[in-house]
Structure 1
Amino acid sequence: MNLPPFPFDPQRAQAEMEAFRRKLEAGMEALKRVGPIELGTTPREAVYTEDKLTLWHFKGDTPPTSKTPLLICYALVNTPWMVDLQEDRSMVRNLLAQGEDVYLVDWGYPDGADRWLTLEDYIDGYLDRCVDAIRARHGIDALNLLGICQGGVFSLCYAALHPEKVRNLVTMVTPVDFHTPDNMLSHWARNVDIDLFVDTVGNVPADVMNFAYLTLKPIRLNQQKYVGLVDILDNPKELENFLRMEKWIFDSPDQAGEAFREFARDFFQKNQLMSGEARIGGRPIDLKNITQPVLNIYAEQDHLVPPAASAPLGDLIGSDDYTALAFQGGHIGIYVSGRAQKLVPPAIHTWLADR
């Protein structure tokens, strides 16, 4: 079989190599000018601390107009600073600009002393005491709760256990049905001997979790983004944005072993939110106890929490005031994309203000 000659233009190849060399050279100079990469840029103060946990209260440019504070409950598997990544990509800053009074649970970095922390310790312990601290500061009976990803599952469980302390509930990219066919992470988790794994490693290293997430989209997350880095090497602002995202991804906490075991077993493997068999500290989680207004926000291109995993929530809760909001984007884009900044915080504020 005679193949056509491979078209090769030496002069064009030389020009491309020279352009690549210049871009690398400019990139080295740009890297020298990039200062320390900071996450969490909005002014804040610690209003409650316990063990590794810090409860932050954010300060906006103007006093809040909302009379009910909003507590953000993030996942354990990453630091919470994706919601306050940088000044022009901050859900927190935009919520403050809308007039919300924003608090955030920062779970911290577990170590060997936290090996036996359970979901009860996190949800009915730490989270409950954060809620009580805010209620005491404001002299109120109930606050607004915003749960994100795994933090959304925590928030659902918390609202079911303590409905009297939650006025309105907002969930973002929160899984409810962990057994949808398109849930790649669930397929992986369901085939792991969780007991053997946790009994062997104790606390789950952050590097193991990061590896698991990266292998869900290995080409995109391990190759393409670094190839694409070449295109922005000579743009200091874009380069700094890239490095900031990399810092957030790889500055992840380890996972307290017992809580990881319970979450993986009861939710990923047994899908107990759907079956109604979930229990926290022996107490049943009855989502029908959630009768307050609920706003459920999900991302249409989310590969970690696909829309089908979030959609069943409305049928499981007891509330007559349920709103679903679909965002055209991915699991991370829903916090940091320019489109998300314009749409998501105003949608949350408007929904809360109407109630």
Structure 2
Amino acid sequence: MGWLDKVLRRNSELESLFDLDLIDETNHRAYLKQMALETNINFIGRTISQSEFRIITDGKRQIDDWHYLLNVRPNTDQTAAKFWQDFIYKLIDENEVLVILTDNNDFLIADDFERVEYAVYPDVFKNVTVKDYTFARTFQMTEVLYLTYNNKKLTNFMNGMFQDFGDLFSRMIEISMRNHQIRGTVGLNANQKLDSDHQDKLQAFIDKLFTSFKKNTVALVPKLKGFEYTEVSKGDGKGQSIDEINKLKKTLVDEVANILGIPTALVHGDLAEYETSLKAYIKFCIGPLIKKISDELNAKLIEKADYFKGDRIEVRGVAEMNPLEVADAVDKLIASMAYTPNEIRGKLGDEPSSDPRLDEHYQTKNYQSANTSEGGEN
């Protein structure tokens, strides 16, 4: 028996006080990881959800069942915008996404599946689960839409570096709360014996007292015989400021944005670098994603022979320029015979006009061939 045990045994009332709980608080910062992911992935998802999927057959845009599935109602429970936003979220968050076509012609995003890979045959997907339903059949790779994101940086970062960010953020919060904390002491009459029943009542009273201090603007403490509460500190207000805590959260969001290729100025709404950031975002982040989606759609929904004839699925509505902002450039491109009007319409995301004159090249009067030697009178 140690010396502390001997001292405590001499005063059983004092020993019982060591069993009282004065504070019990645990902090979990898992929401930091979710915040960083939600902010950045949903930013990309909202962008892709504005896309328009165009099915081109024989040089003309087709409005058919595939157009309806891709642009209006992929399934009975989702609109096209919600479907593609969920599609992008799962693709980036889980590094892969599987979409199946049911017998009712519904596009469904799989929540879980098992992929069986083969060397010379198409891969097979088994145990495909959507919500609470698991399909008994297997799906061939040629029957589904399957994309991988291949971003190991994101996975490694979120699994490794986040632990340090979470610990640091928790420490900053704890320091800030401790420096704003109201502290007090509770004095008890040690000559009064505390049996188990009295100790439980005293513990309940202390808990009620501290809860009142924490939640109420005005808290009154009743004076009890043998019980005395003394406030020793009201907090000095020093420590980590709210700005420093916000900077840490912003840094975590920025790190994830850099991995995904999103300019941080767009995420935080910095209008000073808006135009430059938007161009970089469309070219290096959204452009590759649109290419992945369009390649998969063309490979699975368009036959090889039809693709060679010019049939294809195009993803429009995101990467194109605003015609009002580039009107001067459009005029120069047409006037220099670099493009026809219909070719310009295609680059701006509009459908070609049926007017045959818009398929011709035009040249303004102040342009002429370098080999031409006509005088000014001609």
TM-score range, shorter chain: under 0.3
Q: Which has the higher contact order (CA 8 A, sep 6+)?
A: 1
Structure possessing the higher radius of gyration over alpha carbons: 2
TM-score under structure 1 normalisation?
Answer: 0.22
Structure-2-length-normalised TM-score = 0.21
